[in-house]
Amino acid sequence: RATSMPSQSGSIKVHTKKDFVPKTGKANAAFIILARNSNQAGLLSSMQQNEDKFNSNYNYPYVILNDQPFTDEFMQVISSVTKAQVKFGTIDHSMWGYPQWIDQEKAAKGRKALEEKKAPYASSESYRHMCRFQSGFFFRHPLTMEYDYYWRIEPDVNFYCNIDYDVFAFMEAKDVKYGWTLSLTDYPSTLETFWPTVQKWISKHPEWMTSGKSSLRPWLHDDDKMEKYNLCHFWSNFEIGSLKWLRSEQYVSYFDHLDKSGGFFYERWGDAPVHSVAVALMLNESDVHFFNDIGYYHPPLTHCPSEPQLQAKCACNASVSFGMYSSHRNAITNCV
């Protein structure tokens, strides 16, 4: 089993990686990216940095998905950034569109109500389709089905640190199912019925919940009775995770339950709280990993490691790293 060392001040322990022995050499893994044609320059930038800091030594393939067809120019320019394989795919209506049980008038009212509360992307329909796709479908798109692990990358992000070990082989060797760099709290108005909806699903499947000392469940709550969700979530624009876990009966049952309730459209549930709550309900500390050594920026937040031996590999400023010094609760998750 994986060795663990205590976190700096929080309750989630982290794996050490110096000692891992890859199981099979390279893992069966890919970068999975969702992008529009208009993201060409931003994606070029993200991928160029990823190649520079990590992938030019490992050559993991990329799967790049869009709800519209990519232009020839997009595919040509993006493929030229890497010597690894790049696959481009479109997303069909079964994974990006209104399910038949959604009342579209109710959805329009929900958007109006959220606009009044000034939530980001309140009026956007495409953002809701995107969040639903990232919550329930990217891991079973035909182009991603063959892989076991994924690293999500977005356009316009920065990678700051040289990564000189195989991150995917690490995930496999330690049997890690979910990894992150940043976490924070979500906008309450986007999630008004989310937790009550989750609670209904929990009561149907108590046997799937983790409990005891190594359960991640307490991270979701500030109240001792664990009845209220504190809106903490891993920021899902960066994720390294197990596709097999997302395809499991448990995760799919959870997603289907949420999807049937309509909250992706009637409210504006983000894929970040959806993934994070599943992680915390059904996984243990040893199943997750905080990638402290991957310096990362997605507007407007940075993660930059402060340990001197890590800083030496990173072109970033640890003093602007989000949450590192602000939380008594959990420096590892940065949820403040």
123 binds ligand GDP (CB under 6 A): no
**Which among Mn ion, ligand GDP, none contacts residue 66 (Cβ within 5 to 8 A by kind)?**
ligand GDP
Q: Could you tell me which of 225, 183, 165 has the C-alpha nearest to residue 333? A: 183
Element (H, E) at 277: helix 271-282
Q: Which stretch binds ligand GDP (CB under 6 A): 31-39, 176-184, 224-232, 309-317?
A: 31-39
Q: Which stretch binds Mn ion (CB under 5 A): 47-55, 136-144, 153-161, 262-270?
A: 153-161
Residue pair 99/111 in contact by the 8 Å Cβ criterion: no
Q: Which amino acid appears at position 331 of this protein?
A: A
**Which among ligand GDP, Mn ion, none contacts residue 39 (Cβ within 5 to 8 A by kind)?**
ligand GDP
**Which among ligand GDP, Mn ion, none contacts residue 148 (Cβ within 5 to 8 A by kind)?**
none
What is the pattern of x (binds ligand GDP, CB under 6 A) and - over residues 242-271?
Answer: ------------------------------
274 binds ligand GDP (CB under 6 A): no
Q: Could you tell me which of 197, 199, 195, 196 has the C-alpha nearest to residue 209? A: 199
Look up residue 86 and give its two tokens. 């790049």
The one-character DSSP state at 142 is T
Nearest 10 degrees: CA dihedral of 161, 162, 165, 166? Answer: 80
313 binds ligand GDP (CB under 6 A): no
- d(CA 261, CA 125) in angstroms, rounded, equals 17
Query: Of 51, 192, 239, 285, which is the active-site residue?
Result: 239
Angle of the 125-136 helix axis to the 271-282 helix axis, nearest 10: 20
* CB 66 to ligand GDP: min, Å: 4
Concerning whether 239 is annotated as a catalytic residue, the answer is: yes
66 binds Mn ion (CB under 5 A): no
CA atoms within 13 A on the CB side of 281: 22
Residue pair 7/331 in contact by the 8 Å Cβ criterion: yes
Q: Which stretch binds Mn ion (CB under 5 A): 8-16, 77-85, 151-159, 271-279?
A: 151-159
Which residues ranging from 37 to 76 are in contact with ligand GDP (CB under 6 A)?
39, 66-67
* CB 189 to ligand GDP: min, Å: 15
Nearer to ligand GDP, 144 or 283 (CB): 144
Give Dmax (Cα) for the chain. Answer: 55
Q: Could you tell me which of 287, 291, 188, 270 has the C-alpha nearest to residue 231? A: 188
Residue pair 251/281 in contact by the 8 Å Cβ criterion: no
**Which among Mn ion, ligand GDP, none contacts residue 135 (Cβ within 5 to 8 A by kind)?**
none
Nearer to ligand GDP, 39 or 292 (CB): 39
Q: Which stretch binds ligand GDP (CB under 6 A): 28-36, 69-77, 287-295, 323-331?
A: 28-36
What is the pattern of x (binds Mn ion, CB under 5 A) and - over residues 194-233?
Answer: ----------------------------------------
- d(CA 188, CA 190) in angstroms, rounded, equals 5
Look up residue 158 and give its two tokens. 């920065």
Q: Could you tell me which of 232, 271, 288 has the C-alpha nearest to residue 137? A: 271
What is the pattern of x (binds ligand GDP, CB under 6 A) and - over residues 124-163?
Answer: --xx--x-----------------------xx--------
Binding residues with ligand GDP: total (CB under 6 A):
12
- d(CA 238, CA 115) in angstroms, rounded, equals 27
Distant-in-sequence, close-in-space partners of 12: CB < 8 Å, separation ≥ 6: 216, 219, 285, 288, 290, 330, 332, 333
- Which residues are designated catalytic? 239
Q: Which residues bind Mn ion (CB under 5 A)?
A: 154, 237
Q: Which residues bind ligand GDP (CB under 6 A)?
A: 34-36, 39, 66-67, 126-127, 130, 154-155, 237
